């Protein structure tokens, strides 16, 4: 990825919004300027006014920002509201019959759900969950394919004040079990199976595997019939979704929760230890979801929005399950791969559903660009008016293809920087106002105090690289790490006197003030836009009986952003030839079982030892160079075991 950054250092192309786009946009340059000015003049008042304007409250709040428990900041704490009410009920009168979700399956089956349909489905499931004894504050795991039911399940939890934790359907039984146990969940909502690339993934079978060895606090498993594969139902524990909601009323009075009531936990990787349960609030989080869908995605009455992210990731929370619904939009939800039957599938779907605003990840853009550079031209994409990207820096080549071939030089591209922890977009263009530069996420949004600072917290000048920080608490920030306040403090507030939020990314600003994200400062991999700790993959590898030690690093990859390279020391002798090949296969599958297929190392190398300093630290920088195939020019004489270098390079 650093190679991309190098090339963007020389990027000089600028794309100002067209007069036509600006004319029709929600925010024009003067509106943006006014928002920035207001946020600067009265930071708390700025957010409080937005919270009053954008959210329907059951009890109005009187408190804005409460810093008394810093860095556990609170917003609007004495107000009461309900997120599901704000996403569904408040639309019923004016747009009850408007399509909320257009669902398309990989086989082409399509289903439209109106806001009224959503109300009914959510109400029934919410009542069923209540009937199972789920009460406000209980945790519910959602382990589902990317279908409308996943969104319904999230909304049903929000409706009754249950805290959901969505686990990506591509994660293994082991990864699922860790999250079930850490969150202390009472119920798991899943499906018989999910379909991807024509294959069925046995989700329910994974739930059984996870719970058979450690059921934690799980009392009930709700199973949605989706793929039609055979499943085993445990008599007292498991219930089919359709049986659970049978006879339930569609009306379920929302649980009016405090603004700070946790809406969800979402597990994400850090540099060390097990994944962290990032805890988000109700009102502050929803406010971030609403304003960014309005400001950055410019969502308006007749838009058809499509964010391709799975609900297993934060993007699928803020830009599928909550934000678009809260602003009353119509959105597309697709369960399947982008290349079935060919790499034109998404473009065909944009045409067929008349998509106007499209949001995806650079890794997907690069993959589709490679697989079918001219395919977008076979479809009528004239309805598209705005494109977005998220997950990693986008290289200018992919940006230009997205801009010219998909967007036909008509659609601005919003490159949005944010994180699971930040809840919503933080640094991103406002499409009717900001001049775009390929590869830069441009400027901080109004009310977001982003900056680049040095080790001492001092703001850096143009083109100086440093730590990306947020200098003021914002409403949609994470509140803590579930069950581990200390880890929250240690991870996000370890420097600068605990005053600035440390994002974990390095960045620079250019002379125009645009932000350029340079990469992570910690050992976090970004594979196809998915965050993964090197530690997680290492722990999975050493859990295999043949492995003595392992170190994992990232290497730049054209499509995935980063590829995973694992250096493995086996118990006993180093393997070579066919035996080594067999072991590589076995370890790759082993990691897929432990974490999920996305964590499979692309490359596994065996050696007699890892390069370590005399104090025993693994020299990761050296491993990174080796993984990239670079010549080793640095002095390796401080290494305890210099002889392993040629082995790791595959030269001995």
Q: Kind of pairing, strands 386-390 and 357-360?
A: parallel
Window of 15-23, 156-164, 217-225, 418-426 that interacts with ligand 6R9 by CB under 6 A: 418-426
Residue 611 assigned ligand-binding role: no
Q: How far is the CB of 276 from ligand 6R9 (least distance, A)?
A: 11
Q: How far is the CB of 424 from ligand 6R9 (least distance, A)?
A: 9
Closest CA to 144 of 212, 224, 66: 224
Place of tokens 């499409």: 431
Residue 520 assigned ligand-binding role: yes
Residue 383 assigned ligand-binding role: no
Give the other-Cβ count within 10 Å of 191's Cβ. 28
Q: What's the token pair of residue 268?
A: 């994400």
Residue 418 assigned ligand-binding role: yes
Give the whole-angstrom CA distance, residue 490 versus residue 493.
6
Q: Which residue number, 517 or 626, has a Cβ lying nearer to ligand 6R9? A: 517
Q: How far is the CB of 493 from ligand 6R9 (least distance, A)?
A: 16
Q: Which residue number, 360 or 647, has a Cβ lying nearer to ligand 6R9? A: 360
Q: Interface with ligand 6R9 includes 315 (CB under 6 A)?
A: yes
Q: How far is the CB of 316 from ligand 6R9 (least distance, A)?
A: 10
Contact letters for ligand 6R9, residues 380-399 (x by CB under 6 A): ----------xxxx------
Give the whole-angstrom CA distance, residue 519 versus residue 464.
14
Place of tokens 């359907």: 169
Give the whole-angstrom CA distance, residue 410 versus residue 414.
13
Window of 253-261, 280-288, 410-418, 600-608 that interacts with ligand 6R9 by CB under 6 A: 410-418
Q: Give the list of residues 6+ apart from residue 504 with CB closer than 8 angstroms, or none.
A: 270, 271, 419, 491, 520, 521, 522, 524
Burial class (CB in 10 A: 0-12, 13-18, 19+), 337: middle
The binder of ligand 6R9 chosen from 183, 395, 420, 594 (CB under 6 A): 420
Q: How far is the CB of 153 from ligand 6R9 (least distance, A)?
A: 21
Give the whole-angstrom CA distance, residue 580 versus residue 330.
52
Helix (H) or strand (E) holding 481: strand 480-481
Sign of CA dihedral 364, 366, 371, 372: positive
Task: Answer yes or no: are the C-beta atoms of 260 and 479 closer than 8 Å.
Answer: yes
Residue 199 assigned ligand-binding role: yes
Q: Which residue number, 219 or 522, has a Cβ lying nearer to ligand 6R9? A: 522
- Give the phi and the psi of residue 496 in degrees, each rounded to 5: 55, 35
Burial class (CB in 10 A: 0-12, 13-18, 19+), 414: buried
Contact letters for ligand 6R9, residues 336-375 (x by CB under 6 A): ----------------------------------------
Q: How far is the CB of 585 from ligand 6R9 (least distance, A)?
A: 29
Residue 417 assigned ligand-binding role: yes
Q: Which residue number, 518 or 610, has a Cβ lying nearer to ligand 6R9? A: 518
The binder of ligand 6R9 chosen from 129, 441, 445, 569 (CB under 6 A): 441
Contact letters for ligand 6R9, residues 524-553 (x by CB under 6 A): --x--x-x----------------------
Window of 160-168, 245-253, 308-316, 493-501 that interacts with ligand 6R9 by CB under 6 A: 308-316
Q: Which residue number, 369 or 610, has a Cβ lying nearer to ligand 6R9? A: 369
Give the whole-angstrom CA distance, residue 466 versus residue 390.
21
Residue 416 assigned ligand-binding role: yes
Sign of CA dihedral 7, 11, 13, 16: positive
Residue 169's alpha-carbon distances to 27, 342, 412, in angstroms, are 37, 23, 32
Residue 415 assigned ligand-binding role: yes
Give the whole-angstrom CA distance, residue 234 versus residue 208.
9
Sites for ligand 6R9 among residues 249-288 (CB under 6 A):
268
Task: Answer yes or no: are the C-beta atoms of 153 and 147 closer than 8 Å.
Answer: no
The binder of ligand 6R9 chosen from 89, 208, 298, 505 (CB under 6 A): 505
Residue 293's alpha-carbon distances to 24, 34, 112, 177, 328, in angstroms, are 16, 18, 22, 33, 11
Q: Which residue number, 363 or 647, has a Cβ lying nearer to ligand 6R9? A: 363
Q: Which residue number, 186 or 531, has a Cβ lying nearer to ligand 6R9? A: 531
Window of 55-63, 144-152, 310-318, 575-583 that interacts with ligand 6R9 by CB under 6 A: 310-318
Q: Which residue number, 391 or 446, has a Cβ lying nearer to ligand 6R9? A: 391
Residue 243 assigned ligand-binding role: no
Q: How far is the CB of 34 from ligand 6R9 (least distance, A)?
A: 26
Paired strand residues for 74:
66
Closest CA to 277 of 354, 183, 387, 152: 183
Sites for ligand 6R9 among residues 575-604 (CB under 6 A):
none
Paired strand residues for 515:
442, 509
Give the other-Cβ count within 10 Å of 647's Cβ. 18
The binder of ligand 6R9 chosen from 168, 417, 488, 590 (CB under 6 A): 417
Residue 288 assigned ligand-binding role: no
Residues in contact with ligand 6R9 by the rule CB under 6 A: 268, 313-315, 390-393, 415-420, 441, 503-505, 517, 520, 526, 529, 531
Query: Binding site residues for Mg(2+), as ranges?
Result: 542, 544, 547
Question: Which residues are part of a known binding site?
Answer: 196-199, 315, 391-393, 415-420, 505, 520, 528, 531, 542, 544, 547
């Amino acid at each position: 990825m650093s190679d991309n950054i190098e090339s963007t250092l020389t990027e000089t192309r600028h794309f100002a919004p067209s007069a036509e786009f600006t004319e029709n946009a929600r925010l024009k340059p003067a509106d943006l300027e006014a928002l920035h000015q207001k946020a600067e003049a009265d930071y708390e008042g700025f957010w409080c006014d937005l919270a009053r304007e954008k959210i329907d409250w059951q009890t109005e709040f009187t408190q804005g920002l409460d810093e008394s428990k810093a860095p556990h900041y609170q917003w609007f704490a004495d107000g009461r509201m309900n997120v599901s009410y704000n996403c569904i009920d408040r639309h019923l009168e004016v747009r009850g019959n408007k399509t909320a979700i257009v669902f398309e399956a990989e086989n082409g089956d399509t289903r439209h759900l109106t806001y009224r349909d959503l109300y009914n489905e959510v109400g029934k499931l919410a009542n069923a969950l209540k009937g199972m004894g789920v009460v406000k504050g209980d945790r519910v795991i959602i382990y589902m394919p990317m279908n409308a039911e996943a969104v319904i399940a999230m909304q049903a939890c929000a409706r009754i004040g249950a805290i959901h934790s969505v686990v990506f359907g591509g994660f293994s039984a082991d990864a699922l079990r860790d999250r079930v146990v850490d969150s202390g969940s009472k119920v798991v909502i899943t499906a018989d199976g999910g379909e991807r690339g024509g294959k069925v993934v046995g989700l329910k079978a994974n739930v059984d595997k996870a719970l058979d060895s450690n059921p934690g606090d799980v009392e009930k498993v709700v199973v949605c019939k989706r793929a039609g594969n055979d499943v085993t139902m445990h008599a007292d524990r498991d219930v089919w979704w359709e049986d659970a909601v049978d006879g339930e009323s569609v009306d379920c009075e929302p649980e009016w929760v405090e603004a700070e009531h946790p809406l969800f936990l979402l597990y994400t990787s850090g540099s060390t230890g097990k994944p962290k349960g990032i805890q988000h609030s109700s009102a502050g989080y929803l406010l971030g979801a609403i304003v960014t869908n309005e400001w950055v995605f410019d969502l308006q009455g007749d838009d058809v929005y499509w964010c391709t992210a799975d609900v297993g990731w934060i993007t699928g929370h803020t830009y599928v399950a909550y934000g678009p619904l809260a602003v009353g939009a119509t959105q597309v939800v697709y369960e399947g791969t982008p290349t079935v039957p060919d790499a034109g599938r998404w473009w065909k779907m944009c045409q067929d559903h008349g998509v106007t605003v499209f949001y995806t990840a650079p890794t997907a853009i690069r993959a589709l660009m490679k697989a079918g550079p001219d395919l977008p031209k076979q479809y009528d994409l004239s309805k598209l008016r705005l494109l977005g990207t998220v997950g990693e820096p986008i290289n200018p080549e992919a940006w230009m293809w997205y801009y010219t071939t998909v967007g036909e030089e008509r659609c601005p591209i919003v490159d949005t920087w944010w994180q699971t922890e930040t809840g919503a977009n933080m640094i991103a263009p406002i499409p009717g106002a900001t001049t775009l530069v390929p590869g830069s996420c441009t400027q901080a949004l109004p009310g977001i105090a982003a900056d680049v600072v040095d080790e001492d917290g001092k703001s850096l000048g143009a083109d100086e690289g440093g730590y990306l920080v947020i200098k003021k608490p914002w409403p949609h920030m994470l509140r803590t790490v579930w069950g581990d306040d200390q880890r929250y403090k240690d991870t996000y507030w370890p420097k600068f006197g605990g005053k600035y939020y440390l994002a974990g990314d390095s960045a620079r600003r250019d002379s125009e003030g645009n932000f350029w994200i340079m990469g992570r400062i910690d050992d976090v991999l970004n594979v196809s836009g998915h965050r993964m700790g090197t530690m997680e993959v290492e722990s999975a590898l050493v859990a295999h009986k043949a492995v003595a030690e392992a170190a994992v690093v990232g290497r730049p990859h054209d499509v995935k952003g980063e590829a995973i390279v694992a250096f493995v020391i086996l118990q006993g002798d180093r393997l070579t030839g066919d035996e080594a090949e067999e072991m590589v296969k076995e370890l790759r599958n082993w990691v897929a079982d432990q974490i999920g297929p996305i964590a499979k190392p692309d490359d596994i190398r065996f050696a007699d030892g890892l390069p370590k300093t005399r104090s025993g630290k693994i020299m990761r920088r050296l491993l990174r160079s080796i993984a990239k195939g670079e010549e080793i020019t640095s002095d390796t004489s401080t290494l305890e075991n210099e002889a392993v270098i040629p082995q790791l390079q595959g030269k001995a």
